[in-house]
Amino acid sequence: MKRIITINSNQVHKSIETRGLLKEKLINAGFDVCYDFHPNTELIISIGGDGSFLKTVHDFDFPEVPIVGINTGHLGFFPEISPNEIDKFIEAYLNHDYVIEDVPVLQASVCSNKSCCDVFAINEVVVKGDKSRTIHLNLKVNDRHIQNFSGDGMIVSTPTGSTAYNYAAGGSIVDTSIELMQLTPLYPINTNAYRCFTSSIIFSIDSIIKIAPEYRFEDSILIVVDGVEYRFNQISDIKIFASDIKISLLRMSNYEFWSRVSEKFL
């Protein structure tokens, strides 16, 4: 039986061209290629940018096999391989010249008075109002009250997601080798009633973050998971914690996080 590799691509012209070239080269190297997830797939290749990579992981339901990205987008923190490096990548893969990075996944248990629903994130979970006005949230960590929050909302991110929405909101970039969660406030307001942190808060990876809306002010909360919006009514609380699920990200053996940061931001 031939070894199977799954390719998932966005519909941008450059990505479609790259997909065809990659398929041809993989077949010549002795692989079978699928565009849909196959149960015997040994590797998933996502073609596109960071958004396409995240969509691949969610579409394939957080698969256990390694994932690697070919970058036809912009920043490309997840997809580090460029289309002109396909031959180099295939040779390195055949020679096992790569490393596997375990990427943490956040689990958010969104509960109403009647039931709970779990959603999962690689980059971040955002809790905000679904209208353009200030919302009020109660923040607890490990059942200890931290603050009454007033502002636009909160971002809870992984180290992997620290360079995404978290960074745009003023949060810190975190080395992906460190296990932690980062909570970054969105436009916090300080008043006599609400004393809010104005910078990010770092929590250990085994913390349980609980965010509860104050319904005397707001009755509809928007949950944004890796850029995808979820709307819920009558939320009682959102518990965010590290999931048992992890994503295996295939990196080339010469990958260095801080070199990548310097390349993308400086």
Render pLDDT for 176-220 as a digit per residue (tens, 0 to 9): 999 999 999 999 988 777 778 889 999 999 999 999 998 655 567
pLDDT of residue 61: 95
* Marked catalytic residue, from 32, 50, 206, 219: 50
CB atoms within 10 A of CB 75: 16
Q: pLDDT confidence of 47, banded at 50, 70, 90? A: very high
Helix axes 86-94, 13-28, angle to 10 degrees: 40
Reduced DSSP (H G I as helix, E B as strand, rest coil) percent helix, strand, coil of the chain, to 5: 20, 45, 35
Higher local confidence (pLDDT), 135 or 184: 184
CA distance 138 to 255: 40
pLDDT of residue 67: 98
Q: Residue 124: is it exposed, middle or buried by C-beta count within 10 angstroms (0-12/13-18/19+)?
A: buried
Tokens of 199: 């910078």
CA distance 215 to 229: 20
Closest CA to 3 of 93, 63, 78, 102: 93
Mean pLDDT of 47-54: 95
Q: Pick the range with the lowest mean pLDDT from 5-9, 119-123, 148-152, 241-245.
A: 148-152
Alpha carbon dihedral 47, 51, 53, 59, in 10-degree steps, equals -110
Mean pLDDT of 35-53: 95
Q: pLDDT confidence of 253, banded at 50, 70, 90? A: confident
Catalytic annotation on 50? Answer: yes
CA distance 75 to 190: 34
The answer to whether residue 262 scores a pLDDT higher than 90 is no
